[in-house]
């Protein structure tokens, strides 16, 4: 994130001695500094200060290949996936089901039954974006914790060690549902909404006040056996560390997890229908993420609120439907996913354009991911495919 944050204790100057102080007031050694950054030494970075060395690996256990299995590598059909058909799983990582992939990202859904308590997780390959469709709880990280609830995006930079803790009441009464995207390039706010210094501009649909930063820094001065599962190159490696990974006494910098609620996205509207980029929320080098939220419709006297037919020439379009009235489609429900591949025009379903005329607003919520390279469907995705969506534009 292109803004500065700090939490806990840090020395007055970086890369200098930071002494631990015993209760008697005497020195009892040093804290251990760690640079946490990406893109070599040129990208966003933070400096963390640990009670113990963050490098103490005690044991390497098993490695499991978690590479998604592709069923359709060259897709030219528009498809609808029934997302809520995925079976819940107890373990958080086991519950993650990859559905759409390319060399830039993994797009999937998760329905975990339990919090992550027996181990810690680190994705060493990708930044992660988790969207909370159902459930609430707390993202616990070495940077501090971030509460989450319905409608929140959690953006977790690669290399962040974390645990997901769901509220007990939610686990008992509701089935948590998450959308996740693993990105091989960093996830940023849209460049056109930032000035040369990184500040979000006045015309941005959200600002820094809407960003929730880590708080309540946990500092565990513990040694022992701590299991960390690390994803790297399509495999999940289990390593035992000799100290608790949440032993940071303080940190500062620009590279850290944060959350942003879809409910705080302020829609941009106009006299005539606005194109999808006005809904953009995040960007990477290889895809963008957009948020569709309740908004007033276009106010030209001859406006057609439904989107116009358009050709996806340069991208594949994926929409995850969250809640509300999805005015441009027929037979769509929460948890459905539509895939509109590049090379095929698409637009409103038959009757949707006519129904939209004269309407003043929409109450829909949806997340859209547009990729710049074609997507492949996994074996799990094909089990969710309704098989007929590509015919839904036939005017019968």
- 310 is annotated as contributing to ligand binding: yes
CA separation, residue 151 to residues 6, 146, 182, 190, 267 (Å): 26, 14, 18, 19, 15
Q: Residues with Cβ < 8 Å from 383, sequence gap 6 or more?
A: 85
Name the 3-class secondary structure at 349: coil
Residue among 350, 339, 349 nearest 76 (CA): 339
CB 269 within 8 A of CB 296: yes
Distance CA 154, CA 175 (A): 18
Largest CA-CA distance found in the chain, in angstroms, rounded? 84
Distance of CA 357 to the CA centre of its chain: 34
- 210 is annotated as contributing to ligand binding: no
Active-site annotation holds for 273 = yes
How deeply is 168 buried, as exposed, middle or buried, from its count of CB atoms within 10 A (0-12, 13-18, 19+)?
exposed
Kindly give the pairing relationship between strand 280-283 and strand 310-311: unpaired
CB 116 within 8 A of CB 89: no
Helix (H) or strand (E) holding 318: strand 316-323
Which one is catalytic: 220, 237, 273, 300?
Answer: 273
Distance CA 337, CA 320 (A): 5
Provide the annotated binding site for Fe cation. Answer: 310, 316
Residues identified as active-site: 273
Name the binding residues for homogentisate. 346
């Amino acid at each position: 994130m292109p803004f500065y944050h700090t939490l806990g204790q840090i020395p007055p100057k970086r890369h200098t001695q930071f002494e631990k102080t015993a209760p008697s007031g005497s020195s009892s050694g040093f804290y251990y500094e760690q640079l946490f950054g990406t893109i070599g030494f040129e990208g966003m970075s933070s400096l963390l200060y640990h009670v113990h060395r963050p490098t103490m690996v005690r044991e390497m256990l098993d490695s499991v290949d978690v590479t998604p299995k592709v069923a359709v590598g060259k897709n030219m059909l528009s498809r609808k996936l029934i997302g809520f058909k995925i079976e819940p799983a107890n373990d958080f990582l086991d519950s993650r089901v990859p559905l759409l992939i390319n060399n830039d990202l993994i797009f999937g859904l998760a329905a975990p039954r339990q919090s992550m308590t027996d181990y810690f997780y680190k994705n060493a390959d990708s930044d992660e974006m988790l969207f909370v469709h159902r459930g609430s709880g707390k993202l616990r990280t070495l940077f501090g914790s971030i509460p989450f609830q319905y409608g929140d995006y959690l953006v977790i930079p690669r290399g962040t060690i974390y645990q997901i803790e769901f509220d007990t009441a939610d686990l008992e009464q509701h089935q948590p549902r998450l959308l996740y995207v693993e990105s091989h390039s960093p996830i940023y706010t849209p460049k056109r909404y930032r000035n040369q210094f990184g500040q979000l501009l006045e015309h941005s649909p959200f600002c820094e006040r809407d960003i929730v930063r880590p708080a309540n820094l946990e500092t565990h001065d513990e040694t022992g056996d701590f299991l960390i599962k690390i994803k790297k190159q399509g495999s999940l490696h289990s390593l035992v560390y000799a100290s608790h990974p949440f032993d940071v006494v303080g940190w500062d910098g620009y590279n850290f997890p944060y959350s942003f609620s879809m409910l705080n996205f302020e829609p941009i509207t106009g006299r005539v229908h606005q194109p999808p980029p006005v809904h953009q929320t995040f960007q990477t080098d290889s895809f963008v993420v957009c948020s569709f939220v309740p908004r007033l419709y276009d106010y030209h006297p001859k406006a057609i609120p439904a989107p116009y037919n358009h050709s996806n020439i340069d991208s594949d379009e994926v929409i995850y439907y969250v809640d509300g009235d999805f005015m441009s489609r027929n037979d769509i429900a929460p948890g459905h996913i539509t895939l509109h591949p590049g090379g095929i025009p698409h637009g409103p379903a038959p009757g949707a354009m006519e129904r939209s005329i004269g309407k003043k607003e929409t109450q829909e919520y949806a997340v859209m991911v547009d990729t710049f390279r074609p997507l492949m469907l996994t074996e799990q995705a094909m089990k969710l495919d309704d098989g007929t969506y590509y015919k839904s534009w036939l005017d019968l």
